[in-house]
Amino acid sequence: MIPRGEHGISRKQFSPNAIKVLYRLKDGGYDAYLVGGCIRDILLGQQPKDFDVVTNATPDQVKKLFRNCRLIGRRFRLAHIVFGREIIEVATMRGHHEAQEDKNQISQSSNEGQLLRDNVFGSIEEDAERRDFSINALYYSINDFSIHDYANGLAAIKAKQIELIGDPETRYREDPVRMLRAVRFATKLDMSIAPNSEKPITALASLLDNIPPARLFEEVLKLFLNGKAEANFLMLRQYGLFKSLFPELDKILDKNPSSLETAFIQQMFQNTDKRINADKKVTPAFVFAALLWFPLLERTKKIQNQEQLSEYDAFAQAMNKVLSDNSQHIAVPKRFTLGARDIWHIQHRLDKRAGQRAYRLTQQPRFKAAYDFLLLRVDAGETQHNELAQWWTQYLSQDINGQKEMVKNLGHQGGPKPRKRPRRRNTKKPTE
């Protein structure tokens, strides 16, 4: 236990709503602590994004104390206390599965050791042992403002190491997503994964295939939209974890690590990191359009050769197939797959610029993303599209008259020649 005078954390650094939740639970006769990432981040000098609370009150008891509470989750029941846009997550202290005397407490594991149900409650000491990493087993007490460190989390922070609590293989089997979290924390906090925690990852990477695709979508967003996308991508590839997320792309990248495909993906992640770190928006549709682009091209060629279809028809079929196959691994919501489709479709229309086509194309909602996608392709090494990218860059910098002049100078270069209308036959009978 580290007393208030030795850790330097002040209540002013916490969300006022989190403090309200702590005191309401305390006044209700329960123990309550701030736990995990918020404590860790403050100790590292970072601003926490979320404030999580742990208590010995059950989810139903928490709900009785808060009118603005909703219970969520099946694998492990949680209480969300809603304050406008901010949500304070309240979890009941978890216990060990061996002691299940209460029939209302349920745990269930798969044959691979993965926890399917985890509603077993216990003491704060047991809860600390059930946490994933030592840096996340830090508890802030509202009673005396001390920090309780049950797993040498402060030492791990000082050593800059991500270390699992307990036997690494067992803990990864309980929840394979912990392997992704280890990578994310290592890059986010500028730490390394401890040797014992690192050792089993490659051998157990395939366990991610058992994780629901909807959950993996959320994890992918955390990995690739947090400002450390390139570092996460490289580490995922290093440990063989990327294969379970994007198997077709992983196979393509394995063929030639220094290929245009690898350069394209890395450049995309570099650009994504720059935008996020500059507080600019990045749509998941663009990221997924890039990650599935080369599997899409490969599938298009395959369908073309097998079914003797035109490139356009094969491309349309390939889009459906690639997105369908990807959904077996990562459940991307329809609003993002539709965005990816638009970005892909516009790639085939960017060279059709004659007449009103260029102007109409710029009015498409996804045009800017599709234009950025073209620039990404050129930056990665598709030099055959360099002239087209320069034309669009200049076109977008012109006023309306300049744009018309550019299109006029194209002649028929930017589109098909207009077809001549056939003469209409005079079908009227001559009058007598």
Residue 84 lies in a domain: yes
Residue 87 has which token pair?
Answer: 């949500």
Residue-wise pLDDT tens digits, 346-399? 999 999 999 999 999 999 999 999 999 999 999 999 999 999 999 999 999 999
Quote the number of domains for the chain. 1
Instruction: Give the pLDDT confidence score for residue 425 in this predicted structure.
Output: 62
Residue 1 lies in a domain: yes
Instruction: Give the pLDDT confidence score for residue 105 in this predicted structure.
Output: 47
Residue 61 lies in a domain: yes
Residue 58 lies in a domain: yes
Check: CB of residue 285 under 8 Å from CB of residue 336.
yes
Residue 26 lies in a domain: yes
Residue 428 has pLDDT above 80, yes or no: no
Positions marked active-site = 50, 52, 132
Check: CB of residue 330 under 8 Å from CB of residue 213.
yes
Q: What is the CATH number of the domain that holds 43?
A: 3.30.460.10
Residue 377 lies in a domain: no
| 11: exposed, middle or buried (Cβ count in 10 Å: 0-12, 13-18, 19+) | middle
Residue 221 lies in a domain: no
Residue 200 has which token pair?
Answer: 């089993």
Mean pLDDT, rounded, for 84-96: 90
Residue 152 lies in a domain: yes
Characterize 276-286 residue by residue with b for buried, 16 or more Cβ atoms within 10 angstroms of its Cβ, and e for exposed. beeeeebbbbb
Return the DSSP state at 227: S
Residue 104 has pLDDT above 50, yes or no: no
Residue-wise pLDDT tens digits, 263-272? 999 999 999 9
pTM metric for this prediction: 0.84
Instruction: Give the pLDDT confidence score for residue 411 in this predicted structure.
Output: 66
| Percent of the chain at pLDDT exceeding 70 | 89
d(CA 196, CA 185): 16
- Predicted confidence band of residue 410 (pLDDT cuts 50, 70, 90): confident
Q: How far is CA 424 from CA 244, 418, 420, in A?
A: 62, 18, 12
Residue 318 has which token pair?
Answer: 């390939």
Number of helices and strands in the chain (H, E): 23, 11
What domain range includes position 1? 1-159
Check: CB of residue 55 under 8 Å from CB of residue 92.
yes
Beta pairing class for 106-109 and 161-162 = unpaired
Q: How far is CA 42 from CA 12, 36, 51, 52, 120, in A?
A: 11, 11, 11, 13, 30
